[in-house]
Amino acid sequence: MPKNTYPKLHNAMWPGLVGKEAGTDHPPIGLDRMLELTVNAEVNGQKFDGVDLFLFHPHTDPDASDEDIRRMADKIAGKGLNVGSVVAPVWPGTVGGSAMGTDQDRANFVLAVKKACRIAKILNQHGVRKYGIIRIDSADSPAHWDADPKGNTKKIAATFREAAKVANDNGERLAAEGEICWAGMHSWKDMLDLLNEVGMKDSLGFQADQAHTYLYLLGYNAEQHALLKAGYGQAEFDAAYTKLTDSLRPWTFDFHVAQNDGSVHGTGDHEKTGRHCPADDPNGKLDIVKTAGYWLKDAKDRGIRHICWDGCMFPNAMLENPKTWNTILGTMIKVRDAHGWN
């Protein structure tokens, strides 16, 4: 029996898609295969409790019929898994558009959240989904944002408010993914300013990813907001990490366990962002279990019921290796043992 039963341990399905390109040595990996890899992982009799989903092709058609969504739910539940958080298709080329773009772009962004809410409702009614959020980001780049930081932050916030109203009407919460490749969200300070500008703390919060937020400390894409300098020591790291997490933790609705080696990486059409490393990467900069505790303090009070592993842009050979998933699962169990609850 596990030491703690919460938070539930989930695996992300989008690493089979993000940064993948057909016709290369890292083609997309289908949902069925990602589910199989998840189900096959086991450490001392413990397995993953569920998955977080990407609501776009080829994993999920955002306009799939109710019946098709229920079939997907049956498949996932039949494998002994739950669904937690889901990712709305907010980017240009999917359903959505830039949150700071034209009126049509911004309307498309809100439409993407509406479609995600519909799918989430079906999953909830089915019973396969009992917790989790809908994930968004600004769907634009820091370079575009930098042309008018104040004006663009206000535009993004206005779009996010409209999307949050839609989510609230559907009994859902939104979490904005803190990542250096997203406009107005590319530093811890800009992210915090945006959350305060939206001002809907019960409906729109933050998604913390250990790999991405590590780069917040280093000031990638926003040197003026760096909290650490090269050659830092443990005491300096602890102070910086405390400041980072004390600032963003009160907003955090969703948490990704991950490792980072201090570098950036991008493949396919995904801009460079925090490199996700294997959980046991010798070059990893984070004590995963210890630093997870900073984010998971009072997690139950913030409505967090699960945590998710994110291995975006792992090579396909790594994703297909069963050892990868057992190592990840073992690390997540340690996080839950250290910081979870019953």
Largest CA distance in the chain: 55
For the domain that residue 38 is a member of, what is the CATH number?
3.20.20.150
pLDDT for 68-114, tens place per residue? 999 999 999 999 999 999 999 999 999 999 999 999 999 999 999 99
Domain assignment of residue 231, given as a range: 8-339
**3 occurs within a structural domain:** no
**165 occurs within a structural domain:** yes
**1 occurs within a structural domain:** no
**197 occurs within a structural domain:** yes
**24 occurs within a structural domain:** yes
- End-to-end, the C-alpha distance of the chain in Å comes to 12
Model confidence, pTM: 0.96
Question: For residue 266, what pLDDT is reported?
Answer: 54
pLDDT for 8-23, tens place per residue? 999 999 999 988 889 9
When divided into structural domains, the chain yields a total of 1
**276 occurs within a structural domain:** yes
**240 occurs within a structural domain:** yes
pLDDT string in tens for the chain (342-residue length): 789 999 999 999 999 998 888 998 889 999 999 999 999 999 999 999 999 999 999 999 999 999 999 999 999 999 999 999 999 999 999 999 999 999 999 999 999 999 999 999 999 999 999 999 999 999 999 999 999 999 999 999 999 999 999 999 999 999 999 999 999 999 999 999 999 999 999 999 999 999 999 999 999 999 999 999 989 999 999 999 999 999 999 999 999 999 999 876 556 555 666 678 999 999 999 999 999 999 999 999 999 999 999 987 789 999 999 999 999 999 999 999 999 999
**2 occurs within a structural domain:** no
